[in-house]
Chain A
Amino acid sequence: MTRRRILAVAVLVVPAWLMMPLENSIHSENLQLRYGGAKVTSELRDQIGQGMAIALLAGFRGVVADFLWIQSHDYWAKKEWMRQYSYMKMVTMLQPQSTMFWDIGAWHMAWNIGYAVSVDPQNRTQAEGIKREREWWDRARDYLQQGIENVPNRPDLYFAMGWLYWEKYKDGSKAQEYFHKAVAAKEQPQNLSVRMDGVQRLEARAMEKSGDVKGAYQCWKQMWLQDHQKTEQIWTVVEREVKRLEDELRIPENQRVFPNPRSEPASPP
């Protein structure tokens, strides 16, 4: 080996070793970002196929997840719900940070599959249909719970869980709990698929439905007292609800946001 070849090897090896701390720092930051992302194990490879496993190893995790998601839709069309379910679980295993997959997956389970199994002609009795539908609601709830554990700081999945309790389980108390968590979530990105002012209103309605009318009134009142210029809200709805609850709860005149019609209404802040 000539001197220059030795130099060539040295210039490749020594700086690479010197860069190890930087490489480790980048690696640990990447691990934090992809927290919970499934590793490519032999079991996963068997499930998704050799080609997909190679694509995963080559760094195309998002493309593989999308492809599997599209396949899961095909199983929906074929009414192969358990297979669709297993594909949706695989997708969230690959990209656990995607709120979209958790959200839409749970919606498919609780609404689409839930309804489809409830009217399935193979059901022997109506009760069987109801039982099967309920099982899919439970699957959706567990699925969303896993999503919340993976993405605890964003409001999307708390809202989805609240909506599931509100619409399907008709459990106002649980719905209110999750709507509140959505409103209080640390991250409030711009590109949310839900409007947070709507979630605030739902929280107040869920509170009232669960029997806490005074709490609901406080909730609506707090909404009204926000800065109307800076906050996006449907103020006509908030005004209507505050007035209704003030009448219903017989709030004393001097404590009302909207005193009776003969008095001057309180101006918005």
Chain B
Amino acid sequence: MNAEQENMTESTQPSGAPAAREGEWVGFSLSRVWAIAETTFTEAVRQKVYNILIVFALIVIASASFFSQFGTEEQLKFMKDFCLGAVSVFGTMIAIIGTALLLPSEVENRTIYTILSKPVRRFEFLLGKYMGSVLLIFVSLLLMSIMFGAALAFKEQRMVSALHQQSSGVPLTEEQKQEVHATVRQIRAEAFDPDLVKAALLILVKLALLAAITLLVSTFSTSMIFNVIVAVMVLIAGHLVGSAREMWGDSAVVRWLLAIVPDLGSFNVADDIVLGNPISWVHVAKVVVYGLGYLACVVAAAHFIFSDREI
């Protein structure tokens, strides 16, 4: 019996019904992974916690368009900072809470036995759960980004119409007319900055990585609270890596130790984008490769621990 068949039979033993006949090989199936991912996503969407979080996030983002007692440039900067911050915070909450619930609830409701008694490999189950969680994060980010875009468009419209209102009915010199046109152009350029997509992409990769870390923790823990606490600690540690490297980076031992924790600060390019600092696609690609590489390792580690776990 090879390792894969060992996996199949060990997963079925607790339920008492063998999933595959001895000697039968069940290969990896993407359709099974997708079926589990879909179910995971549907279950998560039906949860009250998720709905409350997403509704609250959308309200917070929409309310950002009401910064009005400052200048044009200030208002747009505050709005972008605030919205991207809200997307990041609510996305983090959804990623951690949504993923921390996955395995403990399956074990607690004993549904894991039903699933693993079918010809489903543990890796497929784990990957399906993870994909469901990533799908949830993606949909949430998409919703929040659409709301962010709408809020920006609304703000831009209000600013431009206020400007036209101020200038209408007043005889303007050619210089003043050009001034109005230039201001409108500046508002549009500030509001519809295509670089904001880069910020959203890196937030998505960061949240997918956080979800993978939470999944890894939940493969050896049975408590959802514990999963959340450990994930939050990794989140904080991940943001401190950059500062730690600057402070103690001279020591090779420290550098090697720090490399084990993902540098989550690398994914925060939102501030730079809002300030208009040029962030190249090459830099974004590097961070995405770094994030995906880390994510793959974490999912692989989760697989090794989960396949060894007594259920």
Asked if A39 lies at the interface with its beta carbon under 8 angstroms from chain B, I say yes
The residue among B182, B193, B235, B307 with the most chain A CB atoms within 10 A of its own CB is B182
Q: How far is the CB of A57 from chain B (nearest CB, A)?
A: 6
Contact yes or no, B239 A58, CB < 8 A:
yes
Residues of A within 8 A of B68 (CB): none
A39–B272 touching, CB < 8 Å: no
Least Cβ distance of B268 to chain A in Å? 4
Question: CB distance A62 to B279 under 8 Å?
Answer: no
A189 at the interface (CB under 8 A from B): yes
Which residues 267-306 in B have Cβ within 8 Å of A in the complex? 268-272, 274-277, 279, 283, 286-287, 289-290, 293-294, 296-298, 300-302, 304-305
Give the number of chain B interface residues (Cβ < 8 Å): 66
Chain A residues bordering chain B, tally (CB within 8 A) = 53
Q: Does residue A59 face the partner (Cβ distance < 8 Å to B)? A: yes
Assess whether B82 is interfacial by the CB under 8 Å rule: yes
- The residue from B185, B245, B268, B274 contacting A59, defined by CB atoms under 8 A apart: B268
Chain A residues touching B, majority SS: helix
| In the assembled complex, B81 has its CB within 8 A of some CB on chain A | yes
User: Which residues does chain A contribute within 8 Å of B190, judged by CB atoms?
Assistant: 191
B106 within 8 A of A: no
A-B contact pairs, 12 of them (CB 8 A): A5-B305, A8-B302, A12-B297, A12-B301, A22-B290, A30-B265, A30-B266, A63-B81, A66-B77, A191-B276, A195-B179, A234-B175
Q: Nearest 9 A-B pairs (CB), nearest first?
A: A8-B304, A191-B189, A62-B81, A59-B268, A62-B271, A4-B308, A8-B301, A63-B85, A4-B304
In the complex, given contacts A17-B259, A65-B81, A104-B74, what are 18 additional A-B residue pairs having Cβ atoms less than 8 angstroms apart?
A5-B304, A8-B301, A8-B302, A11-B301, A12-B260, A15-B293, A19-B290, A19-B293, A29-B283, A57-B239, A58-B235, A62-B85, A62-B270, A62-B274, A95-B271, A190-B186, A193-B186, A234-B174
Question: Chain A: residues with CB nearer than 8 A to chain B?
Answer: 2, 4-5, 7-9, 11-13, 15-17, 19-20, 22-23, 25-27, 29-30, 33-34, 39-40, 57-63, 65-66, 69-70, 73, 95, 97-98, 100, 104, 189-193, 195, 198, 232, 234, 236-237
